[in-house]
């Protein structure tokens, strides 16, 4: 018969010998400690990177080394040029609305001009949101025609309280000038009461949107009771609604006439979608994507500085 050689099975791990143990009963369990082979060292993982927008940044406190606009800053004061443009804009609006009322009386037609005015009011809020979003996020002071407004709106995020310090004509003259140039030709060439009603209400709300915007930054105790009532009724953009625009992520509540479009636009992420399209098409990042940058951090006034004014 052939004899088979007996081979011991050696496992891949090493057993430590159980030495110097007394004899034991076969039924008694024996425990031996084992050590496994050392595994290969893994390469060092990539360092953890914290995105800038995940790091909370406290508001900047205004100090002597960090200047800010003062109440008597000339840039907040109205000039005669500002007042002249506001007067021209208001005159244009009154002519447009007057033509609409006159035409409605002559034709005994009231429902259509009123409905047209209501549509103009609704679309003015949408237009204010689109324009606000655009100049908040794109361009700078070097852009022709609208560069000063871009600079003002972007600076407004750092010093939002300055809009309450601007004088009336200073705040409205830019939009009043645009209304004068665009609406006056329509008023002179078109005498349809429906068109006049739409144009007059829409352009009027757009022109005064900056004043509605300023009121949304005011305190309830300092606002006229009628303004507070209109804000609470939803006719004008409310203070609480617009306050969300000045908190991270700084990409919502852009509409500043009545704010009626804000919920729809923010819920469906309309502006975020437009930002992605523009980014993939042009490579330009909107300013709201870098909201932790210094130009987006609101500067606050200390009590002593407020008293000093």
Residue 57 falls within a domain, yes or no?
Answer: no
**Residue 32 within a domain:** no
Domain count, the chain: 1
Q: Is residue 248 part of a domain?
A: yes
**Closest to 221 measured CA to CA, from 170, 164, 262:** 164
Look at residue 92 in the predicted model and tell me its pLDDT: 97
Measured CA to CA, the distance from residue 295 to residue 156 in angstroms comes to 9
Per-residue model confidence (pLDDT) at position 142 = 82
* 2 assigned to some structural domain: no
Give the list of residues 6+ apart from residue 13 with CB closer than 8 angstroms, or none: 34, 35, 36, 37
**Separation between Cα atoms, residue 76 and residue 213, nearest integer Å:** 15
Question: Is residue 20 in some structural domain?
Answer: no
Task: Give domain status of residue 36, yes or no.
Answer: no
pLDDT digits (tens, 9 = 90+) for 174-204: 999 999 999 999 999 999 999 999 999 999 9
Yes or no: say if 34 and 17 are a contact pair by the CB < 8 Å rule: no
Which residue, chain included where needed, has tokens 């509605």? Answer: 212
Kindly give the pairing relationship between strand 14-15 and strand 34-35.
antiparallel
Instruction: Give a yes or no: residue 308 inside a domain.
Output: no
With contact defined as beta carbons under 8 Å apart, do 118 and 100 qualify? no
Torsion sign (Cα): 56, 61, 67, 68: positive
Q: Which domain holds residue 84?
A: 79-299
Contact 262, 255 (CB under 8 A): yes
Q: Is residue 42 part of a domain?
A: no
Instruction: Assign 56 to helix, strand or coil.
Output: coil
245: CB partners within 8 A, 6+ apart: 252, 253, 254
Q: What 8-state DSSP symbol labels residue 300?
A: E
User: Do 13 and 37 meet the contact criterion of CB atoms below 8 Å apart?
Assistant: yes
The pair of structure tokens assigned to 172 is 């409205």
Q: What does the pLDDT profile of the chain (309 residues) look like in tens digits?
A: 444 444 444 444 444 444 444 444 444 454 444 445 454 555 555 554 444 444 444 444 443 344 555 656 788 899 999 999 999 999 999 999 999 999 999 999 999 999 999 999 999 999 999 999 998 888 887 888 877 777 777 777 777 778 888 899 999 999 999 999 999 999 999 999 999 999 999 999 999 999 999 999 998 899 999 999 999 999 999 998 898 888 888 889 999 999 999 999 999 999 999 999 999 999 999 988 875 454 555 555 445 444 444
Proportion of the chain above pLDDT 90, given as a percent: 52
Contact 162, 178 (CB under 8 A): no
Return the half-sphere exposure (C-beta side, CA atoms, 13 A cut-off) of residue 241.
24
Beta pairing, strands 60-61 & 34-35: unpaired
């Amino acid at each position: 018969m052939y004899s088979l050689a007996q081979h011991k099975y050696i496992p891949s791990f090493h057993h430590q010998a159980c030495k110097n143990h007394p004899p034991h009963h076969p039924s008694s369990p024996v425990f031996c400690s084992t050590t496994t082979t050392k595994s290969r060292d893994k390469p060092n993982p990539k360092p953890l990177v914290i995105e800038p927008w995940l790091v909370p940044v406290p508001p900047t406190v205004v100090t002597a080394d960090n200047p800010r606009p003062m109440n008597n800053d000339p840039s907040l004061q109205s000039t005669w040029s500002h007042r002249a443009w506001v007067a021209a804009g208001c005159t244009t609006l009154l002519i447009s609305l007057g033509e609409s009322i006159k035409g409605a009386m002559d034709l005994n037609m009231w429902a259509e001009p009123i409905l047209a005015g209501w549509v103009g009011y609704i679309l003015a809020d949408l237009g204010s949101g689109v324009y606000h979003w655009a100049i908040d996020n794109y361009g700078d002071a070097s852009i022709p025609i609208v560069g000063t407004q871009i600079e003002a709106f972007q600076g407004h995020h750092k010093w939002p309280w300055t809009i309450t310090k601007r004088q009336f004509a200073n705040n409205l003259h830019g939009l009043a000038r645009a209304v004068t140039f665009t609406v006056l030709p329509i008023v002179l060439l078109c005498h349809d009461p429906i068109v006049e009603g739409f144009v007059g209400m829409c352009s009027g709300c757009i022109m005064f949107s900056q004043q509605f915007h300023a009121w949304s930054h005011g305190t309830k105790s300092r606002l006229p009771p009628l303004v507070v009532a209109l804000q609470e009724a939803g006719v004008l953009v409310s203070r609480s609604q617009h306050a969300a625009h000045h908190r991270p992520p700084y990409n919502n509540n852009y509409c500043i006439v009545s704010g009626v479009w804000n919920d729809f636009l923010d819920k469906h992420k309309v502006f975020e979608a437009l930002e992605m399209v523009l980014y993939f098409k042009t490579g330009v990042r909107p300013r709201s994507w870098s909201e932790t940058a210094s130009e987006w951090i609101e500067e606050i006034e200390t009590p002593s500085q407020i008293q000093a004014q």
